[in-house]
Every structure is written in structure tokens, then in C-alpha cells.
Chain A
């Protein structure tokens, strides 16, 4: 088992070190899927969208109880209201997004060829606001998380479909995100992969670690610990702080590239946001 893990990590490491023209997100994805399949042969592919609840029965039961009437429902309602409220110039969010912004979250993040950057949903929400004369919302929590929750809700069951086009800039962004995921940082000298690639299902104190595949599908989440909604990047900052690393700016280049790679690893899984977590 350890040999298999080592082999995969070496291969992935090789891929990231190699010339970017050899980078192949599709192969990475195939390898990740195979890797988890071997690690957890009894877990169905779709169940990975439930994160840690695909791996632990006791936790799953509590989560299902919470899902009877999940706390994020309030945020979805608020989000819907905010989403439908016109801007000062009379336009709405629907004017900025394809399909009026309904059922599209599974396509984010996406690579914008024109500006040469990765666009996350939250970034797109704020750019929409600025385009129509409104001040941007603070990232991570509050209104932006509510709007994201609503948009996630309308996208439920759509398979995650992050695209890395055959554009060297897109591939570079993906590779940077991948490198971030596998790079050790902080005083505790841990990488995202230390927990979520090498140790899913194992415990860190009394918390059970979730696998990387499926981690992003259920965001934004109502985290009991936060007692409110939070976006994926809010969690990135929190996780970085926990290994005693300085967190990066929300929606800065590092976290956007990270989210790009991270979400790509969940391609094919059903979008099931917003979620409820401990």
C-alpha cells in the first residue's frame, strides 16, 4: 500500500517538475481516481462529493441529521434575494453570467483567455458588481458566500466541469495550483497533500481527514465551527493558518490557481453545494 502511494506521489512529482508542455491534467485526474479507488475500494465514485462523510459512518449519520434541515438554507434564501436585487444601474447578476447565472457553478473556476487568468465564481460575482457601479463584496463570508450558496444550490447534481484549455497560460495556472497543493508550508511543514492525498480516512487529533477528490464540490459550506457560511478560499486561509503558514490573499493569484487545480480533481462528480460541515 505504502509503495503504491509512494509510486503515485513520485509520478505526480515527476509530472510537476517536468516541462509544462508535458503537463497533462487529464492524466493527473485519471491517476487520482485510480489512487482513491485502490485506497477505498468500497466507496462509490459519486460519494466522494460528500467528502469525509463518504468515509466515516458515525460522522455521516450526524451529517444526515443536520441535512434534515440544514443551516445553509437560510443563506440560500438570502443569496437568492441578493442575486435578484438589481444594481444601481438597473442590471442584475443574471446579466453577467451565461444562462442568467443559474446552474453554472459546476463550470467554475474557468480560464479567461482574454485576461489570461483563472476566474472563480466569487471573483466573477465581484467583477459583475464593479462592472455595474457597485462596490465589491468582502471575500470569504457574508453576502458573497450567500450569493455563492444560492448559485451552488441551482447547480446541484450538475457534474463538475472545470476546463483546462490547450493554452499554455491555462496549463501554467493549473500547474501552479498543483504545485501549491503538493508544497509543504508553515511551521508544521505540511502540504495539502500530506493530509488529503496521503492520509484521507486517518485522524488528525479527533478529526477525520477528507480525500482531495470531492473536496470542492460542496462549497460554499455552513461550518458549525464558523457558525456561518464560508467559501472554499476562506477554508484555504484557515487551513494554511493551522499549519502555521501565512495565509494568502483571498482571490489572489495563488488561491485562484489552487482552486483551479483543486476543483479540476473533482471533475465528473456531482456539484452538491452548499454543504453543512462541522
Chain B
């Protein structure tokens, strides 16, 4: 009797865990995640994330990223904008195997101002995309990734 009860409890526990794990992904379901984050071109990643690749260049996006990365494995990035009604900020690293590095959901009341640290495999253009009022705005910067002389 005891054994059966424990089995039941264990079963319930794993169900709850699985359920709560899924509940952690309210904004974006696995399938959609895969389409955007597994895409190997920026265009496919944009389509996967936004169902659109129409980008409007904007000078209202403050994109802070180094010109020459100290270490390509840890590149600090900040994207900030005063465009109204921002719902998403995403970062695309053009020459990475999968360009979409990160995508941030900005609910109402949350600032359109995010910082993260990303990996860049080589010198490339990095694009910050902001979804504001349903439209996609972007700005781009080139980041040089080099080989230093002081490895070890």
C-alpha cells in the first residue's frame, strides 16, 4: 500500500515539475523558439521571431557595444530606446552560426533598456532590433573580434 502511494506521489511530483517547467515559458513556445534561435541566417531568424523581416533603420535606438571586443566570449551589450510601446528587443549577430543571440519581451511598465553579455565568433555586424507599435526598427554596429598576443 505504502509503495503504491509513493509511486503515485512520485508520479504527481514529476508531472507538477514538468508542468511548472512548461509554465516558465509563457511568452514563447518551444517550436517558435526553435524557428528563431535555430535559424542560421538573420533573415530566417527575423521571420522565425517576428514573422517579418521588414526593418526600418532608426537613430532612436542607443546601441552600446564595443568597437573592438576585449574577449569575443564576453561582449557587453546594452540596447536602449525611447521609441514608444516597445514590446521586444532582439540582438542578431550576423556571422554567428545561429544569428539570434537573445530576444527580450518587454511587457508594459518595463523599460526598453536591456543589458546582456554575448559571444561573437569573429568580426561581424551586430544588429539591435526593436519592435515598437508593431513595427520593427533596427540599428547596426560592427564589432571587431581579434586574437590577442597574451593568451595563456
Question: A and B: direct contact (Cβ < 8 Å)?
Answer: yes
In the complex, B73 has a CB within 8 A of chain A: yes
Enumerate chain A residues within 8 angstroms of B150, measured Cβ to Cβ: 204, 207, 209, 239, 242
Bound complex: CA A205 to CA B78 (Å): 28
In the complex, B149 has a CB within 8 A of chain A: yes
Instruction: Give B73-107 as 1s and 0s: 1 = Cβ < 8 Å from A's Cβ atoms.
Output: 11110100000000000000000000000000000
Stretch at the interface among B2-10, B19-27, B43-51, B62-70: B62-70
The chain A residue with its CB closest to the CB of B145 is A206
Q: What is the interface size of chain A, counting residues whose CB is below 8 A from a CB of the partner?
A: 24
The chain B residue with its CB closest to the CB of A227 is B73
B58 to chain A, nearest CB (A): 23
Interface of chain A, main secondary structure: helix
| Interchain CB contact under 8 A, A58 and B149 | no
Enumerate chain A residues within 8 angstroms of B71, measured Cβ to Cβ: 224-225, 278
| Interchain CB contact under 8 A, A224 and B73 | yes
| Interchain CB contact under 8 A, B152 and A58 | no
Partner of A207, one of B69, B75, B78, B149: B149
| Interchain CB contact under 8 A, A225 and B67 | no
How many residue-residue contacts, CB under 8 A, span A and B? 59
| Interchain CB contact under 8 A, A241 and B152 | yes
| Interchain CB contact under 8 A, B76 and A66 | yes
Bound complex: CA A188 to CA B84 (Å): 58
Partner of B67, one of A58, A65, A224: A58
Q: A66-B74, A278-B70 are in contact. Are A204 and B152 (CB under 8 A)?
A: no
| Interchain CB contact under 8 A, B148 and A62 | no
| Interchain CB contact under 8 A, B147 and A205 | yes
In the complex, A112 has a CB within 8 A of chain B: no
Bound complex: CA A238 to CA B151 (Å): 8
Bound complex: CA A59 to CA B64 (Å): 13
Enumerate chain A residues within 8 angstroms of B146, measured Cβ to Cβ: 205-206
Q: List 11 A-B pairs, Cβ < 8 Å.
A: A62-B66, A62-B70, A62-B75, A68-B115, A204-B150, A205-B148, A206-B147, A224-B73, A227-B73, A238-B152, A241-B152
Extra inter-chain contacts (13) besides given A204-B150, A205-B147, A237-B152, CB under 8 Å: A58-B66, A58-B67, A61-B66, A62-B70, A62-B76, A65-B76, A65-B115, A203-B149, A206-B68, A224-B74, A225-B152, A242-B149, A242-B151
